[in-house]
Amino acid sequence: MQARIPSASPLPLYLAAAYTLLVIYASLHPFSDWRDTGASPAAFLFVAWPRYWTLFDLATNVIAYMPLGFIWVSTLLPRHGTWRSVALASLLGACLSLSLETVQNFLPSRMASNVDLGCNSIGALLGALAGARWGAVLLDGGRLHALRMRLIGKGAMADAGLVLLALWLLTQLNPEILLFGNGDLRGLLDELGLQAPLPYVAEQFPWVEAGVTATNTLALGLLFGCLLRRDKYRLPLALIVAALLVKSCSLMLLKSTAGLAWATPGSLAGLVAGLLLSLAATPLPRRMRQALAALSLLLATALVNLAPENPYLTAILQVWQQGHFLNFNGLTRLTSSLWPFLALPWLMLLRQETLETA
């Protein structure tokens, strides 16, 4: 293995910081009803193996920390030797898990667990070892980096755009939203006493679905197109297909037969309309595409917050919001709610020379 790899790109650091923050949020969600139980915060470390456990629990805790170890090794490689990077990334993952498990002592809805700590630490170590072997592909000279330079170019705005796209794919794991419908702030608006969503009317709901899907598809296609230097037609389409696969997987977690529950008449019509509009707008000048993407994102967010509750999803989401999915539900909900408000400033700050200077 190569002991030291130079890298001028801060993309691995951006990804590592973003994933670490998401892990912290997911582990401490819902951040309410904090209290001191009177027990020692370290008591969970010496508890016997739990009487009830599942292989799914163990695997989930291992897998959740593998990306953390992988990305942190990729970040540390340029300044540290390979094995030192592995040790530091593994230690970071273990310390993060220990800290979060300790804090969970003060959340009634969470339970600190030494088994979770062990699985998280193993996941961070496995991810770090994988990062030592393959993480260099993210850095200068790596294959993914070379592909990125050919398709996108370099620059801080390009790095931020790639992080935004990764977060957008993550939002598709949230089964609560309509297809591609990010930016839902209805819970916050209700607490502030502002207008509630429109009432559910079966005859009108497909039109709402179509509007949400079409505007979000158009915004995403134009946003991704602003990043690309070539393949501006095929790659946005490939990203949409990948997102649909992710969406199907998230719905199958709710119900094994619900993988295509997103494919309603309204969402399919909106998807086709959004793709056609995106393809039609691709030849426009860059500045016009940026402006149109921002307008589409604003309209899409407004429609999401006006859309009525989907009674079908409301019924089956009781499974998702309980038990093992509490962490993941909080993680995807936060990312989904904030994504448009992260994408809009990026579009406003985007400059052509930032992305196209190789």
pLDDT at 15: 80
pLDDT at 277 > cutoff 90? yes
3-state secondary structure of 128: helix
What mean pLDDT is predicted for residues 48-73? 82
Helix %, strand %, coil % of the chain (to 5):
70, 0, 30
pLDDT at 274 > cutoff 90? yes
The token pair at 50 is 């739990």
Query: What is the residue-averaged pLDDT of the chain?
Result: 79
- What percent of the chain has pLDDT above 70? 79
Residue range 341-351, pLDDT digits in tens = 989 888 888 75
Residue range 142-155, pLDDT digits in tens = 666 677 777 776 77
pLDDT at 284: 87
Residue range 73-125, pLDDT digits in tens = 888 887 887 888 899 999 999 999 999 889 888 887 777 888 888 899 999 99
The token pair at 114 is 């030494």
In the structure, what pLDDT confidence band is assigned to residue 217 with cuts at 50, 70 and 90? very high
List, in order, residues 6 or more apart from 332 with CB less than 8 Å away.
Answer: 170, 171, 173, 174, 250
In the structure, what pLDDT confidence band is assigned to residue 297 with cuts at 50, 70 and 90? very high
pLDDT at 24 > cutoff 90? no
pTM beyond 0.95: the answer is: no
Distance CA 331, CA 166 (A): 14
pLDDT at 310: 67
The token pair at 78 is 């340029």
What mean pLDDT is predicted for residues 280-292? 87
